[in-house]
Structure 1
């Protein structure tokens, strides 16, 4: 736990004694040495500026402006304040000025995307390629952790996953539809015992490996992540990664269910082939999600546009 220093405590106590809205008025009083001119500059009445001067004198425990009028002069304290006050007001102006649009060509930002390994395989090469050309200081971190609540979602920048799961995160969540997918079966190209289309009964009678994100995952959550999970009641092996399924299938007589887009990528090697599955609830929609509490983070709106561009380039 980081403790507040004594100096910070003393500064907070001093700030409570002064109305910071009066600092621009003080700056103008020190510049013009005139209540009348200051009132004119801020479109205030002279009595209002006089009241402000009284408050400032109390806050600084100094007269600041002696004999206000034509022959007014600054006290030593006021003279010493003039330069640091002007500098502080300039820095406050920069600090409080609304931020301009995110500039990916020059700004540095670190974005954390929580998603499955196969989504990373599909999107990361395209996203990093675009960033290399257009956003050289943007760092993308792909990770995979179970997200169950809006609070979990706020801990990262974006989560990409099935819509059936995303709809359970609550109302304070933004979403962006990415693509539609469907579950298919993957078999070794050399495994001719597996037909080109499987019925649910044929699948259950086969040796198969299955995706399981966690042993503690409820059947309901598993079904949200993978709509064919009711078929996978007795796998011979479970793994927490989709891509590992392909490696197991390639070197065994097992089959596996996984999204078509990743199955298509794995089948490019020629050692695996796609087998259709006659299962009515095999479709899934993949969306990006983010907490509305993170909407103002630098680069978020830009990255959502980048995601849409990357998805448009998917085969």
Structure 2
């Protein structure tokens, strides 16, 4: 018996058992009768059974061939399905059938800003989907590579080993603004000059700050810009994200920097925002995924929903 299967022989076996003749099998397979006869000879050797025997002017299947008829047909259909080009289901088809837990790694700030809208869009369209938001530990591509997370929403991935395996799409660029209490020390300092006055670098250096930093870093781009003016600010606290930094700013009469669109989603009362008096790099938010899930219909569908939520209208 051959040690490996031959799908061509399986196709000939199925055709012979369905047609009951070499000529009919040849016509079905678009082969010549001699080619099918040679394949039948090989099938007899492989199976150890004559399969089709002559009865008068026709061929009739042996009992072994009768037993093979159904399994051979099913095996051929399964093999053809596996090897056929994969059809991408439409969103409507996918949404009706999708039943999965999709894991998104992101910050608490992003969950605050876009989580409710994303959850609503996903569960309304595909009730069988559950979203699992997990916090950022580091920016390692390993969880994307091994499939423990499906998508990362946040800053572009760092240039680190494995980064070449990732796809990244920038969804928005946001402007950093100064955030503080509408009746706080910073507001009074700026307002004392004029109700419509814009803050200066000196105003920023004169008040106490809370810095948003997941790693508790006290310095940032603002410090470099203030240093260019010969100024230095006082950072009295750090918070692990923009949302808690804004909450501390409101409660403790501090100022912080935060993305303008994020501040617009906050339910913290009594806050005001001002344009930064010094240039600051914009915040870039995007989605990152591993190339292994690039063509997967369910993950592609999730990325479409994220895009529609964070960057509506493109």
Evaluate the alpha carbon distance shift between residue 48 and residue 214 of structure 1 in structure 2; reply closer, same or farther with a 3 A threshold: farther
- Which of 80, 89, 99 matches 1:101? 89
- Determine if contact 1:207/1:254 at 8 Å carries over to the other structure: yes
* 1:30 match: secondary structure: helix
Evaluate the alpha carbon distance shift between residue 188 and residue 83 of structure 1 in structure 2; reply closer, same or farther with a 3 A threshold: same
Paired residue total: 292
The answer to whether structure 1 residue 20 and structure 2 residue 7 are counterparts is yes
The answer to whether structure 1 residue 290 and structure 2 residue 289 are counterparts is yes
* Alpha-carbon distance between aligned partners in 2 of 1:38 and 1:160, rounded to the nearest angstrom: 56
- Which of 158, 171, 176 matches 1:178? 171
User: C-alpha offsets along residues 189-222 of structure 1, whole Å, 9 cap, x if unaligned?
Assistant: 342345445545543553322222236x9x9xx9
Cα distance, 1:185 vs. partner? Answer: 2.1
List aligned pairs for 1:22-101, cutoff 5 A. Answer: 22-67=9-54, 70-97=57-84, 98-101=86-89
Cα distance, 1:96 vs. partner? Answer: 4.7
Evaluate the alpha carbon distance shift between residue 16 and residue 243 of structure 1 in structure 2; reply closer, same or farther with a 3 A threshold: farther
Evaluate the alpha carbon distance shift between residue 203 and residue 57 of structure 1 in structure 2; reply closer, same or farther with a 3 A threshold: farther
* Alpha-carbon distance between aligned partners in 1 of 2:46 and 2:57, rounded to the nearest angstrom: 25
* Alpha-carbon distance between aligned partners in 2 of 1:79 and 1:36, rounded to the nearest angstrom: 19
Deviates more, 1:119-128 or 1:15-24: 15-24
Partner of 1:270: 269
Deviates more, 1:61-70 or 1:16-25: 61-70
Partner of 2:307: 308
Evaluate the alpha carbon distance shift between residue 15 and residue 122 of structure 1 in structure 2; reply closer, same or farther with a 3 A threshold: farther
Aligned CA-pair RMSD? 3.4
Evaluate the alpha carbon distance shift between residue 104 and residue 76 of structure 1 in structure 2; reply closer, same or farther with a 3 A threshold: closer
* 1:174 match: secondary structure: strand
* Alpha-carbon distance between aligned partners in 2 of 1:159 and 1:264, rounded to the nearest angstrom: 23
- Which of 122, 135, 150 matches 1:157? 150
Cα distance, 1:145 vs. partner? Answer: 2.1
* Alpha-carbon distance between aligned partners in 1 of 2:36 and 2:70, rounded to the nearest angstrom: 21
The answer to whether structure 1 residue 142 and structure 2 residue 171 are counterparts is no
Evaluate the alpha carbon distance shift between residue 233 and residue 204 of structure 1 in structure 2; reply closer, same or farther with a 3 A threshold: closer
- Determine if contact 1:208/1:254 at 8 Å carries over to the other structure: yes
Gaps of 5+ in 1: 1-13
The answer to whether structure 1 residue 208 and structure 2 residue 193 are counterparts is no
* 1:59 match: secondary structure: helix
User: C-alpha offsets along residues 104-143 of structure 1, whole Å, 9 cap, x if unaligned?
Assistant: 4302243322222222222222222223432222322222
* Alpha-carbon distance between aligned partners in 1 of 2:138 and 2:179, rounded to the nearest angstrom: 27
Deviates more, 1:138-147 or 1:191-200: 191-200
Return the TM-score normalized by structure 1.
0.77
- Determine if contact 1:153/1:290 at 8 Å carries over to the other structure: yes
* 2:287 match: secondary structure: strand
